[in-house]
Structure 1
Amino acid sequence: MTASAHAPAPYVRNAWYVAAWSQDLAAEKPFGLTILGEPIVLWRTASNAIHALEDRCVHRLAPLSLGRCEGERLRCMYHGLLFDAAGKVVEIPGQDIIPAQARVKHYAVIERHSWVWVWMGAAETADPALIPPAVGFDDPDYLLGHGHLDYAAEARLINDNLLDFSHLSYVHANSFGAGPQFAQTQPTITPLDRGVRVQRWRTNTFGQSNRKSPVPIDTWQSYDFLVPGVLLMWSGQYKLGAAQALDFAPPVMDDAIGGLNFTSQAVTPLTGTTSRYFFSWGPHRRHGDEATRDAMMAMAGMAFAEDKLMIEAQQRMIDVTADPRIMPTSHDRGVILFNRLVKKLAGDGGEAARDAA
């Protein structure tokens, strides 16, 4: 069975997309970005409220991200139109009458888990309960580092990469060092309402990379990959024989004897062929310190650069291939389930964000 890799990817509109790290959004300094091909301006007010509007003034289409914050309002610094937080023009210099259509699109925005989230559907339909349960820097249990990478590739390719970890044996042979046997085993994959859960025991191993154990152990890895493209994963080391004793069921996280860690990752489609990849990673406080975190982040930097090299090359090959086709393998079950879910949710929302560059 083959499938087209050329058709524009659908994305779910009624979902929360990561727009920025909280600490990167300074007070009263407008920040512009594009999500799903839509230019958006974010700004944090002096009162610490965050607002999001279409980054396009109604007068002459100047970017509002070059504007000036005035309390809870934002002034376009081309000809001075003043917008309130709902996107309505409330002042036009030298003009008393403000047309009813003088407004720009308003986006629902929430700050949570150290990320700024933007709802890409109609603002009035925004549901905070659908924000994925990531782990932020205020979590008392984990010491996290963070970063982001920009890709010259569509977000779907990065999502597919994160849904099929068999590539660890090959793309990350020099960083994570999973070994060829990693790709020989299949994880357990469970469909979720808004994603998939991927879980895996590895038995009689010494761990990998800078988290190796001096004695044989069992290791557990579990992650949820949630709409629109958010990975939440924890893993840890357990006594040899733990997997068999549990009949390969999930362990109690606190029973880990070492290496317990957590990572939150998010893929945000900027345009049809560009994406931003946010990530954090670090140890549980009982299983590491700041030095452990920094070593893990150095390894992550190497691994994510390996991914970026491969995925951007993949995108270039797709771009020059007439009617490119893919051939799924047994490791693609999670990829297929997630993409099928995205297609359904995009259709249910009545909108599919497509290749808008």
Structure 2
Amino acid sequence: MPYLMNCWYVAAWASEVSTGELFPRTLLDQKVVIYRDNEGVAHALLDRCPHRFVPLSSGSLCDGGRSIQCNYHGLQFNQSGQCVHNPHGDGKIPAAARVKTFPLVEKHNCLWIWMGDQDKADPALITDFSCMDREHFYVGEGYLYAKANYVLESDNILDLSHIEFLHPGTLGSDAVKDSVTEVKQDGDTVWSMRQTNNEILPDFLYQAWGIEHGKRVDRWIDVRWDAPANMLLISGATPTGQPRENGIETLIPHIFTPETAHSTHYWFGMSFPKAIGPHAQQLADEQVANLSVPFETEDLPMLEAQQDNMGDSDFWENKPVLLIGDAGAIRARRTLDKLIKAENAAT
């Protein structure tokens, strides 16, 4: 499957990778090993020894976390992928004894990896998720593994007309179908926005937002998409007829990185400003735990069934019937296709 290579993908929550441990993960069909040295700085290498091709992640860290030792024949590779120790014979290191490395940046509470041309890996290109910076926010962290293509996952977030039918007891209501929708694009950033007026929310949302049960509200769900599949969902509600600033709003990142053409790593979170007080960390963790239930028990089975039905066929080859709610997802798909085509043409 063609991927957009010259961009930043999330490889892990920063908290997933601990100092002194080797953390394997498959990203864009490539096996990668991530680790932190003794100073806590994270590094990423191809998870494959060039000698007999075994996973380096089955080895161990040595030299103060500055190198990985393969547990098959003892070769050691430093953070730049160069073999620095050969325990055999006269110890001469073969010129080809090196491992591919990947630029890795810790930012916005995530580890971001660049799988393309290393000389183009500019950290300034990382999508803005400053709402996940733990210096200013309490962040709840969620992770799911989906047996579905990552663009299908993006479609699901960009077209939230499904929440009335797939999540009737938690996130949707019978007013969603009457939402006012708008799609706009700023450069390669796509916005898919949905406004529902005079709505009675499901109990789940009244409780989550601390709104008086049964009170009619105007609800908005705005989704910002940046390639390849980095989304920020801005959701809130205000008493019907009142401006947004009189209501409550939550920021929910949804970030997808393909494992393979048919499987996806899914990170989602919840952020609350530290000004709210330290109890907000517990609130963020609880909200993520609550959201993971409909995500895991309703969204994932539907998307995995969709993937199973599509098999290896291309989305466009299936000639999908398009509805008004598809506008944002289709705009994002066409933007991603354009970026991949331009990248391939340049190389």
Q: Over residues 294-332 of structure 1, what are the superposed CA-to-partner deviations in whole Å (9 max), with x where a residue is unaligned?
A: 542243122202100100111111129896442222221
Contact conserved, 2:175 with 2:196, CA < 8 A, in 1? no
* Shift of residue 200, structure 1, vs aligned partner: 2.8
Deviation at 1:59, TM superposition (A): 0.3
Amino acid across the alignment from 1:136:
M
The 3 A distance-change label for structure 1 pair 289 and 53 is closer
1:268 to 257, 270, 279: 257
> Is the 2:272–2:280 contact (alpha carbons within 8 Å) kept by the matching residues of 1?
yes
Question: Structure 1's 24 and 321: CA in aligned 2 closer, same or farther, altered over 3 A?
Answer: closer
CA contact (8 A) 1:282 1:296 kept: no
Offset, 1:341: 1.2
Structure with the bigger RCO (C-alpha within 8 Å, sep 6+) is: 1
Indicate how the Cα distance of structure 1 residues 25 and 256 shifts in structure 2: closer, same or farther if over 3 A, else same. Answer: farther
Alignment counterpart, residue 19 of structure 2, candidates 22, 27, 32: 27
Superposition CA RMSD, Å: 2.4
User: Tell me, what secondary structure is at the counterpart of 1:242?
Assistant: coil
Q: Which moved more, 1:112-121 or 1:234-243?
A: 234-243
Tell me whether 1:227 sits opposite 2:227 in the alignment. Answer: yes
Identify the residue that residue 122 of structure 2 maps to in structure 1: 127
* Cα offset, 1:47, TM superposition: 0.7
C-alpha contact 1:110 1:117 (8 A) present in aligned 2: yes
Question: How far, CA to CA, are the matches of 1:321 and 1:125 in structure 2?
Answer: 32
Contact 1:232 1:262 in 2 (8 A): yes
Partner of 1:113: 108
Q: List runs of 5+ in structure 1 lacking aligned partners.
A: 1-7, 244-250, 353-357
SS at the partner of 1:170?
A: helix
Q: What does the per-residue CA deviation read over 1:10-68, in whole Å, with 9 as the maximum and x for residues that have no partner?
A: 32111111111111101021111111101111110111111111110000001011122
Question: Structure 1 residue 337 and structure 2 residue 326: aligned?
Answer: no
Query: Conserved in 2, the CA contact under 8 Å of 1:12 and 1:351?
Result: no
Superposition TM-score, scaled by structure 1 size:
0.85
1:63 aligns with 2:55: yes
Over 3 Å counting, the alpha-carbon distance change for 1:130 and 1:270 in structure 2 is same
2:300 counterpart SS class? helix
Q: Does the aligned pair in 1 maintain the 2:5–2:115 contact within 8 Å?
A: yes
Write 1 or 2 for the structure with the bigger share of helix: 2
DSSP 3-state at the match of 2:308: helix
Q: Which residue of 1 aligns with 2:134?
A: 138
How do 1:1-357 and structure 2 match up within 5 A? 8=1, 10-70=2-62, 71=64, 72-94=66-88, 95-134=90-129, 135-136=131-132, 138-140=134-136, 142-176=137-171, 178-212=172-206, 213-214=211-212, 215-242=215-242, 255-258=245-248, 260-284=249-273, 286=276, 289-290=280-281, 292-305=283-296, 306-319=298-311, 324-350=318-344
CA drift at 1:268: 1.0
Q: For the residues of structure 1 that align with 2:78 and 2:22, how far apart are their CA atoms?
A: 14
Shift of residue 343 of structure 1? 1.2
Question: Offset at 1:184?
Answer: 3.0
Task: Rate the CA distance shift 1:145–1:278 in 2: closer, same or farther, 3 A.
Answer: same
On the 8 A contact 2:258/2:264 being kept in 1, the answer is yes
Q: Offset at 1:283?
A: 4.5
- Once the two structures are TM-superposed, the CA of residue 256 in structure 1 deviates from its matched residue by 3.9
CA distance in 2: counterparts of 1:133 and 1:47, whole angstroms: 26
Moved over 4 A (4+): 282-288, 320-323
Shift of the 294–46 alpha-carbon distance from structure 1 to 2, 3 Å rule, reads: closer
| Contact 1:186–1:331 (Cα < 8 Å) also in 2 | no
Instruction: State the 1:235 CA deviation.
Output: 2.4
How high is the sequence identity, in percent, across the aligned residues? 30
1:218 alignment partner AA: D
Which stretch shows the higher mean deviation, 321-330 or 183-192? Answer: 321-330
TM-score, normalisation: structure 2: 0.87
Q: How far off its partner does 1:351 sit?
A: 8.0
Name the CA shift for 1:121/1:311 in 2 (closer, same or farther; >3 Å).
Answer: same
Deviations 1:140-160 (A, max 9, x none): 3x4432221111111121111
> How far, CA to CA, are the matches of 2:290 and 2:170 in structure 1?
6
1:335 Cα offset (Å):
1.4
